[in-house]
Amino acid sequence: MRKKLLVKRYSEAFASYAKDNIGIEKAAEELKGLKLLLNSEDDFQSFLYSPEIAYSKKCEIIDRALKGYFSDETRNFLKLILRKGRMDCIADICDYVRSAYAHGDAVDALLRTSYLVDTKALKHIKIKLEEKFHKKINLYLELDPDLLGGLQVRMGNTIIDGSVKRYLSDLREKLMRAQV
């Protein structure tokens, strides 16, 4: 449990740092590459884990060997992990960042409708949502015959409901409140 908490904490901190500097997509891609490097190069991994080699020497080698392959941010993060003695978490941190931020800053949105929507209309809806919320959106489609018609979009805690079911419900409430 403690390791999971550490992995999440380091991953979120790196993601926040990288988002402002190199972009989260590039950061996730670089951590994927770092994990591949650590898994494929036993000598490099042994070098990083070795208690006999001074931290300053490891930092020097990281900068010389990885410059041009990884950004300053990723190299600095690797040095931080080394300094804090958390090399046992590096593979999990790489996996966490890659899985949590592989889509970058994109937000998932669920489009619910009672009928099939053609791809041209889906693209148009996606573009309009991205313009409205100023975010990249991953749009998923769900057919729901209970809506009776129209559309409903759910993004996190935001719901845009243009369904016939909602209009009928609103009309029922208005009629119930109307005094005769």
Bridge partners (DSSP) of residue 110 are: 140, 154
- Nearest Cα neighbor of 156 from 114, 110, 113 is 110
φ, ψ of residue 163 to 5 degrees: the values are -90, 155
Q: Average pLDDT for residues 161-166, to the nearest whole number?
A: 82
Share of the chain above pLDDT 70, in %: 97
pTM over 0.85: no
- Report the candidate in 76, 41, 42, 43 with the shortest Cα–Cα distance to residue 62: 76
Claim to verify: residue 96 and residue 117 sit in the same structural domain:
no
What phi and psi, each to the nearest 5 degrees, are found at residue 157?
Answer: -95, 0
pLDDT of residue 166: 83
* Same domain? 163 vs 91: no
Range of the domain at 171: 107-177
Phi, psi of 101 (to 5 degrees): -125, 20
For residue 140, the tally of other CB atoms under 10 A from its CB is 11
pLDDT digits 0-9 by tens, 54-102: 999 999 988 988 888 889 999 999 999 999 988 888 889 888 888 777 6
| 3-class DSSP state of 146 | helix
- Report the CATH number that the domain containing residue 27 is assigned in CATH: 1.10.520.20
* Domain finish residue from 78, 101, 124: 101
Q: Assess whether 91 and 115 both reside in one domain.
A: no
Q: What is the pLDDT of residue 149?
A: 82
Q: Is the domain of 91 the same as that of 147?
A: no
Half-sphere exposure of 66 (CA within 13 A, CB side): 25
